[in-house]
A and B are shown apart, each in its own frame.
Chain A
């Protein structure tokens, strides 16, 4: 299996395509995530980011394509590979980078770190470090939507590595049983840490994993922004109509290691290079834009703007103070 494998179930971009303006916005959003993550990797290497740091490079089309199908009030939850989701949800590069570096100006005042950021304002519910936990929490977000009688949906992202956790199946059952408006998005980047999907899962068709509970599923080329967007639109429409949960398996690929500390011995450099050269989601959009008559200079201008945002976020993070020592004791409990 490879990223965006062409098989019978994989949907390419044959649905309603995006407008040029949408492609331009997607390009900007995806480049932002990539440049941000490269900068995060650099700051990690300099010792400015500590602990765990899981980069999203290679998977940008997934979150950007899904975000384009959402509206205000829709809720998002994901795993520890969360920087891309946060930027796509509209959280600021400054706030995220400052959290990565453990500063007072970060989204969690430096108390969460790379894996634990949240934004009530942007309906981003974390940022969870226990593999699979965000799936059960995610149906809870959908439960709240239904309880309150809104038509809002919830997106629960998880990786192929989490797809075999028991609570994921408990969640499929509960979501189907109670017709919860939850879109399960499996970001299948082919490796759960260093273990390939072939070695971890008896079933390689993760999009079918909800079948016993009647959860409709689709496998999507997660390197193709238009395909992701089209599938997301269908899933969102299904959920908003009160028909219950939906499962999307996004075939994608991470270029970097599982985390910053990765032996890189479980896959060949040629495999990574081949995806980068032939399947890169950003190059894909770039080519579409160039073919549609957008000139190089416009793209370069977007890239420069993004670079300025990212550099500013790094500067902001490095010059922000660490949390006040008194913060150690705050936010443990709320006043009753």
Chain B
């Protein structure tokens, strides 16, 4: 039976090319895998290999021919003793029909009908669980207790990072963990973020649950390829087969007087990425409840701490089972006149501003986002529908920041309720300076928020 050899495409966008040369001639015996010809475009060269066996019965397109359309028959293979058929018109082959069929399918089956609303990310309708008795602990203690509790609870959980074991943590977050859990589960790493992050992600793909401590999140930049390309995307790329239960945590944002390379907020960077969850706690309760939830979560979670908050004390539930849901914001202060949305250390700044505003008769509602992705849009929108005004506050840069996203969500879901344009307060759009006075000027202060609110109401 005669078989047509078709002009192949080097890429799906190629429509025609040059048949550069024939490497077989009429009458040659062909085995599958033999290179028959070479084709070229302006970019690339490709060999045409035989997939079938037979004898090269006829060459239909001569060597050197240019502008040969893809899928044009270029030769006929025949069986031994068989004649070349007369009718060799370059009719569209079955395969070519298949291609156009599949393209049509792709175009007609629009995905728009199934696009979920961005609002479904929030879970604000449920009231937060009451955990009873509290005691005052630092954020550092809260994080330490969270890791210890989860290490006790699940033998698949382990902690790796620089100085996490013998040194007891560069910021003492892992103090005492080596003694309790041993060197197989609390593991010091050399200063090789790219390598050990990849290692941790690989271990997580097998079902282990690593906690990766970055001495600061700035160093996660060394490993960002593994966080995004290896951790966040593998579940999707594997069609749901391979999840990556891992937590990347460490201090984020400006510390004090440590200069540009050690002072920046990664909230917006990581919140941009589907496949990641991003948490930025403020209080000790946030830190403890959300870190436990992050470690139990089957997905990669970025956990953005703040060095300046490590030593701050907050009331925190003492219940052994205390845990908080990811994706739920908290209204830290109720108010009716303006909604201030913030996260991490800036929640404290926003609350200071709210105090000052209250003295001037303006009641601000302060929302602590706690989770940056998925964003609790519902809580924000409900608040703005009450106050009609929005101010966002973050320490990171303004451009394409979290404030920009919050404002856009409000515009999409509560535009008609707004009485004034949203305002964002953010760090200045410069690398962090070292000098004390310049550093202070670069970061949001309570007064900035007070001024912005007063201009709105």
Residues of A bordering B, CB below 8 Å: 34-35, 38-39, 41-42, 44-48, 50-51, 57, 75, 77, 106-112, 116-120, 125-130, 133, 135-141, 143-144, 147, 166-167, 170-171, 173-174, 177, 256-257, 260-265, 307, 318, 321-322, 325-326, 328-336
Q: Contact: B239 with A112, CB < 8 Å?
A: yes
Task: State in angstroms the CA–CA spacing of A206 and B239 once bound together.
Answer: 35
Q: How far is the CA of A120 from the CA of B114 in the complex (A)?
A: 29
From B8, B195, B200, contact of A167 by CB (8 A)? B195
With an 8 A cutoff between CB atoms, is B363 at the interface? Answer: no
- Residues in B lying within 8 Å of A, measured CB to CB: 6, 8-12, 32-33, 38, 43-49, 51, 70-71, 95-96, 98-99, 102, 105-106, 109-111, 113-116, 158, 184, 189-190, 192, 194-208, 225-226, 229-230, 234-243, 274-275, 277, 293, 296-299, 326
Contact B202 A108 (CB under 8 A): no
CB closest residue in chain B, given A123: B206
Contact B235 A333 (CB under 8 A): yes
Query: Please, how many angstroms separate the alpha-carbon atoms of A177 and B198 in the complex?
Result: 16
Considering only CB atoms, which chain A residue lies closest to B228 in the complex?
A130
Q: Is the CB of B298 within 8 A of A334?
A: yes
The answer for the CA separation of A322 and B274 in the assembled complex, in Å, is 23
Contact (Cβ within 8 A) A173 B241: no
Rounded to whole angstroms, the CA-CA distance of A215 and B267 in the bound complex is: 40
**Measured CA separation A126–B198 after assembly (Å):** 14
A141 to B200, CA, bound (A): 9
Contact in complex: A139, B241 (CB < 8 Å)? no
Contacts of B199 in A (CB 8 A): 136-137, 139-140, 143, 171, 174
B32 with A35: CB separation less than 8 A: yes
B contact residues around A135 at 8 Å (CB)? 198
Q: How far is the CA of A167 from the CA of B201 in the complex (A)?
A: 14
Known contacts: A331-B236, A332-B275, A336-B326. The answer to whether A325 contacts B46 by CB under 8 A is no
Specify which chain B residues have a CB less than 8 angstroms from the CB of A136 in the assembled complex: 194-199, 201-202, 226
Report chain B residues within 8 Å CB of A119: 241
Interchain CA distance A107-B240 in the complex, whole Å: 10
Residue with the greatest number of chain B CB neighbours at <10 A, chosen from A45, A174, A326, A335 = A45
Give complex CA distance A173, B43 in Å. Answer: 40
**Looking at the complex, which one of A140, A173, A336 makes contact with B203 (CB distance below 8 Å)?**
A140
Known: A140-B205, A260-B44, A261-B43. 12 other contacts (CB 8 A): A128-B229, A133-B230, A138-B202, A140-B203, A141-B202, A170-B194, A173-B192, A262-B45, A263-B43, A331-B239, A332-B235, A332-B275
Shortest C-beta distance, A102 to chain B (Å), equals 9
Smallest Cβ-Cβ distance to A335: which chain B residue: B298
CA distance A158 to B48 in the complex (A): 27
Q: Which residues of the partner chain A approach B237 to less than 8 Å between Cβ atoms?
A: 108, 111-112, 116, 118, 126-127
Q: What A residues does B275 contact at CB under 8 A?
A: 332-333
Check A177–B202 contact: CB distance below 8 A: no
User: Would you call A167 and B240 a contact (CB within 8 A)?
Assistant: no
Q: How far is the CA of A329 from the CA of B116 in the complex (A)?
A: 8
Q: Name B200's closest neighbour in chain A (CB-CB).
A: A140
Pair A141/B99 contact, Cβ less than 8 Å: no
Given contacts A109-B240, A144-B203, A261-B11, contact A170 B32 (CB under 8 A): no
Contact A144 B206 (CB under 8 A): yes
Q: Which residues of A contact B208 (CB under 8 A)?
A: 144, 147
A108 to B238, CA, bound (A): 5
How far does the alpha carbon of A256 sit from the alpha carbon of B47 in the complex, in Å? 8
B99 contacts A328, C-beta separation under 8 Å? no
Residues in A whose Cβ lies below 8 Å from that of B45: 257, 262-265
The CA of A77 and the CA of B194, in the complex, are separated in Å by 18
Some 22 contacts from A to B, beta carbons below 8 A apart, are A38-B49, A41-B8, A45-B9, A46-B99, A47-B99, A50-B11, A51-B12, A108-B238, A108-B241, A109-B240, A125-B205, A133-B226, A133-B230, A136-B197, A139-B195, A167-B194, A170-B195, A260-B11, A262-B44, A322-B106, A325-B109, A325-B111
